[in-house]
Amino acid sequence: MRALLRVLPWLLFACASEPKAPVAPTPPAAPAAPVAAVAPAAPAAPAAPAAPLEGAKPEINADFRKPDMDVASWVQRFEGESREIAAARDAIAAELELKPGESVADIGAGTGLFEEPFARAVGAQGTVYAVDISPAFLEHLRQRTKEAGWSQVKVVACDDHDTKLPPASVNAAFICDTYHHFEHPADTLASLRRAMKPGGRLVVVDFEREPGQSRDWVLEHVRCGKQQVRAEIEQAGFRFTREAALPGLTENYVLEFAAPR
Ligand SMILES: C[S@@+](CC[C@H](N)C(=O)[O-])C[C@H]1O[C@@H](n2cnc3c(N)ncnc32)[C@H](O)[C@@H]1O
């Protein structure tokens, strides 16, 4: 008995220090299912080439192209107070926010209705490009510029694809009742975009054309309405900025855009 008592502590100690049952090893994580390889995107079907923009029919400019055109009758027509554009001329010109020393291009300058307010706004240090395709209007513009002594006005003979303006030369461009005369609007707009300084302003005035509302003459003469004009100009890379509502304009809208910076 005495011998048993002597070994008992040792037995208890030995039991207490039994190695614990080994913890079942965590089974190795099942290998992650292979991530399904992302199939390379099927090559996009080549975009159908955009339909070339249909411009105005050449007949619309036939009279303007005649070298012996009666300019005086057009001066009456374009500059008489009965034309809402002429009556609102100064308010329209102010939309360009011209500053002294800037350059502005009047695309389709016609008889030169806007040259005076533009020349005044940019001052002697600025430049007004009076751009047109009509030989008779160009000659008239040269005469008018000389007689008025506007040293800042430069008359530019363009063609129906190209404004012929120097690259990055204008802070602002103006297209008044002329957009619907463009026979190749995409080309003309591309050349205008090249001529714009970064962020330059573009103001377009043209006839509202609403089937069922507009006069028959407008429906026949003007090829498309405001939404289409805006879409074409945006397509050419200009950003639409706003439509201005000017007092006195009931038949014409005013859309404003910015060239990319
Ligand atoms: C209806 S008149 C407007 C004239 C002037 N902007 C005004 O409002 O009094 C249209 C003018 O655009 C000109 N024009 C036609 N196609 C043009 C083009 N692709 N580039 C520049 N001028 C053009 C015509 O010769 C004409 O002088």
111 lies in which domain range? Answer: 61-258
Enter the pTM of the model.
0.83
For residue 65, the tally of other CB atoms under 10 A from its CB is 13
Q: What is the pLDDT of residues 115-162, one digit of tens each?
A: 999 999 999 999 999 999 999 999 999 999 999 999 999 999 999 999
Three-state secondary structure call for residue 195: helix
Of 178, 182, 205, the one to substitute when testing ligand 1's pocket (max ligand atoms within 8 A of C-beta) is 178
Could you tell me which residues come within 8 angstroms of residue 122 by beta carbon, excluding any fewer than 6 positions away?
A: 98, 99, 100, 101, 102, 103, 104, 128, 152
What CATH number corresponds to the domain at position 217? 3.40.50.150
Of 132, 174, 203, the one to substitute when testing ligand 1's pocket (max ligand atoms within 8 A of C-beta) is 132
Q: What is the pLDDT of residues 184-210, one digit of tens each?
A: 999 999 999 999 999 999 999 999 999
Pairwise CA distance, residues 62 & 3, whole Å: 135
**What is the number of the ligand 1 atom nearest to the C-alpha of 110?**
27
Determine whether the shortest distance from the Cβ of 181 to ligand 1 is under 6 A.
yes
Q: Rg of the chain's alpha carbons, rounded to an integer?
A: 37
**What is the number of the ligand 1 atom nearest to the C-alpha of 107?**
21
Is 80 exceeded by the pLDDT of residue 50? no
Residue 127's nearest CA partner among 147, 148, 99, 108 is: 99
Q: What's the CA-to-centroid distance between 22 and ligand 1, angstroms?
A: 96
What are the structure tokens assigned to 259, written together? 């060239």
Q: In the predicted model, what is the mean pLDDT of residues 29-42?
A: 40
**What is the number of the ligand 1 atom nearest to the C-alpha of 79?**
9
**86: in domain:** yes
Task: Report pLDDT for 176.
Answer: 98
Indicate which residue's Cα is closest to atom 13 of ligand 1.
108
**46: in domain:** no
**205: in domain:** yes
Is 70 exceeded by the pLDDT of residue 16? no
**156: in domain:** yes
Sequence-distant contacts of 195-198: CB under 8 A, at least 24 apart: 195/105, 195/163, 195/165, 195/166, 195/167, 195/168, 195/169, 195/170, 196/168, 196/170, 196/259, 197/168, 197/169, 197/170, 197/171, 197/259, 198/168, 198/259, 198/260, 198/261
Determine whether the shortest distance from the Cβ of 61 to ligand 1 is under 6 A.
yes
Is 80 exceeded by the pLDDT of residue 18? no
* Helices of type H across the chain: 2-16, 62-65, 71-79, 84-87, 89-94, 115-122, 135-148, 185-195, 216-221, 226-235
**What is the number of the ligand 1 atom nearest to the C-alpha of 86?**
9
Indicate which residue's Cα is closest to atom 10 of ligand 1.
178
**40: in domain:** no
Q: What is the pLDDT of residues 60-107, one digit of tens each?
A: 999 999 999 999 999 999 999 999 999 999 999 999 999 999 999 999
Determine whether the shortest distance from the Cβ of 191 to ligand 1 is under 6 A.
no
C-alpha count within 13 angstroms, C-beta hemisphere, residue 136:
15
**56: in domain:** no
Indicate which residue's Cα is closest to atom 24 of ligand 1.
108
Indicate which residue's Cα is closest to atom 4 of ligand 1.
110
Contact status, residue 158 vs residue 133, Cβ threshold 8 Å: yes
Contact status, residue 257 vs residue 239, Cβ threshold 8 Å: yes
CA–CA distance from 196 to each of 88, 170, 210 (Å)?
26, 5, 31
Task: Report pLDDT for 32.
Answer: 40
**34: in domain:** no
Number of structural domains found in the chain: 1
Residue 157's nearest CA partner among 171, 140, 144, 181 is: 140
Indicate which residue's Cα is closest to atom 22 of ligand 1.
108
Determine whether the shortest distance from the Cβ of 118 to ligand 1 is under 6 A.
no
Determine whether the shortest distance from the Cβ of 130 to ligand 1 is under 6 A.
no
Q: What is the pLDDT of residues 226-253, one digit of tens each?
A: 999 999 999 999 999 999 999 999 999 9
**243: in domain:** yes
